[in-house]
């Protein structure tokens, strides 16, 4: 009886995607806090504009008094993602989890470094569509990564059927 060797997860790809998201997020937040701190708004195209906002709560500025709790939950999610990566060798899953991890790290860094007190910082948001809550590159990583995880699960379910 022969066994099929399990493919190891592509941790280098996972880590690289996460690092790219963190760097892009922090660089763009630095630009936003430097260039838009006087209330200046940059109109880009159609309804897309860049305007500085600070979010001390969770998504869509809900739960503004729960910053430390949100930060702790995010750190727990980071640990869970790292463990879950080992159970799924798919490249799509690795990229998806890298996007989610990078986004979570980017926003946790804001909570750690942009406030007075442990995890009391506000997340820097600046991408403003004017018809949707203001967000940032980290939020895009979490959202796109989450959507890709769902898509990957649906594809895998279809293949297994």
Q: Is 110 a catalytic residue?
A: no
Per-residue b or e along 110-141, where b marks 16 or more CB atoms closer than 10 Å to that residue's CB: bbeebbeeebebbbbbbbbeeeeebbbbbbbb
Q: Which one of 25, 110, 125, 128 is the catalytic residue?
A: 125
User: Any long-range contacts for 75-78 (C-beta under 8 Å, 24+ apart)?
Assistant: 75/108, 77/104, 78/104, 78/105, 78/108
Q: Give the closest residue to 102 by CA, choosing from 61, 152, 136.
A: 136
Half-sphere exposure at residue 30, Cβ-oriented, CA atoms within 13 angstroms: 7
Q: Is 125 a catalytic residue?
A: yes
Distance CA 135, CA 129 (A): 9
The residues assigned a catalytic role are: 125, 139
């Amino acid at each position: 009886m022969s066994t099929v060797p399990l493919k190891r997860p592509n941790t280098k790809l996972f880590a690289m995607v996460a690092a790219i998201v963190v760097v892009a997020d922090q660089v763009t937040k630095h630009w936003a806090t430097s260039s838009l701190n006087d209330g200046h708004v940059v109109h880009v195209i159609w309804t897309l504009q860049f305007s500085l906002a600070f979010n001390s709560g969770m998504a869509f500025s809900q739960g503004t008094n729960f910053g430390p709790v949100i930060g702790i939950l995010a750190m727990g999610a980071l640990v869970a993602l790292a463990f879950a990566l080992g159970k799924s060798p798919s490249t799509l899953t690795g990229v998806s989890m890298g996007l989610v991890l990078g986004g979570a790290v980017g926003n946790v860094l804001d909570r750690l470094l942009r406030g007075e007190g442990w995890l009391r910082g506000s997340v820097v948001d600046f991408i403003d569509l004017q018809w949707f809550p203001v967000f940032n590159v980290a939020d895009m990583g979490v959202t796109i990564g989450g959507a890709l995880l769902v898509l990957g699960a649906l594809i895998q379910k279809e293949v297994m059927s």
